[in-house]
Amino acid sequence: MSNYIKLIFTVAFVSTTFVSCKNEEQEHAKRAVEEYNKYVDSISRIADSEALANWESIQIDLDKAKAKAEVSLERVSDKKALQSSVDKVSTKYDAYKNHLLAQKQKEKALRRKNTIRTALFGEASLTNDMKFEWVNKRNILTVYEDFIETIQENKYSYSREDWDEIKALYEALDSRKNEVEKEGLSNSKNNKIALLKMKFGPMYAMYRLGAKSDKNVK
């Protein structure tokens, strides 16, 4: 075999090998992107509660899948379409992540709200409409006393959002008091409640102003 023929054969072999490697890397990148997409699709079908409970491990696995896809793209020349797919999947994931974090924040706020209500009113039933139907002329003074005393003891620990919840509860309790007065609330109890109410306004104005927002704390 002449040197010229050998040269042609060698060039042809190298070119074929190069194309083969190039195609293999392209397929590898394509599979990595598909795996990343499938992973995001699979976690988005999980119930929010389950996803939040396992969020740390989910995020670690997803970061690995994304990194694998992005590294594989570095090895291919024709990556425009694949990069576009990765970007779309990442956008989908970010939307899902933001949704989960919003749900987490809502649950946290609800737990905090329930904690405050329990601290102020014990285990008494307090529905979302805050009608205070269990408050009557016999126990209303005690309810106000416990309410003000608890606030005084914890005034430095409340956030602005906590104070807003407390004010809403206070106003709802006052509405109930108007109903209880019609049931025959004694003047003695009414006067004592009036003194307690005089403590709330200044306390709310002063300590809410100095309180931090939950967002700032975060």
Predicted confidence pLDDT, tens digits, the chain (218 residues):
544 333 333 333 333 333 455 678 888 888 888 888 888 888 888 888 888 888 888 888 888 888 888 888 887 777 788 888 889 988 998 998 899 889 988 988 889 998 999 999 987 667 777 888 999 999 999 999 999 999 999 999 999 999 999 999 999 999 999 999 998 999 999 999 999 999 999 999 999 998 887 655 44
Q: What is the predicted pLDDT for the residue at 13?
A: 34
pLDDT of residue 61: 87
CA distance 116 to 169: 10
74 burial class (0-12, 13-18, 19+ CB within 10 angstroms)? exposed
Instruction: Please state whether the predicted TM-score (pTM) of the whole model is above 0.75.
Output: no
Q: Both tokens of residue 107?
A: 């649950």
Six-digit token pair at 193?
A: 């409640």
- Nearest-CA neighbor of 43 among 8, 115, 95, 116? 95
What would the DSSP string read from start to end of the chain?
Answer: --HHHHHHHHHHHHHHHHHHHHHHHHHHHHHHHHHHHHHHHHHHTS-HHHHHHTHHHHHHHHHHHHHHHHHHHTT-S--HHHHHHHHHHHHHHHHHHHHHHHHHHHHHHHHHHHHHHHHHHTT----TT---TT--TTTHHHHHHHHHHHHHHHTTT--HHHHHHHHHHHHHHHHHHHHHHHTT--HHHHHHHHHHHHHHHHHHHHHHHHSPPHHHH-
Q: What is the pLDDT of residue 195?
A: 96
pLDDT at residue number 143: 95
pLDDT at position 22 is 60
In this prediction, residue 16 carries a pLDDT of 37
Q: Where are the domains of the chain?
A: 3-105, 124-217
For the record, the structure tokens of 160 come out as: 């602005």
Rounded distance between C-alpha atoms, residue 83 and residue 95, angstroms: 18
Q: Rounded to whole angstroms, how far apart are CA atoms 36 and 88? A: 11
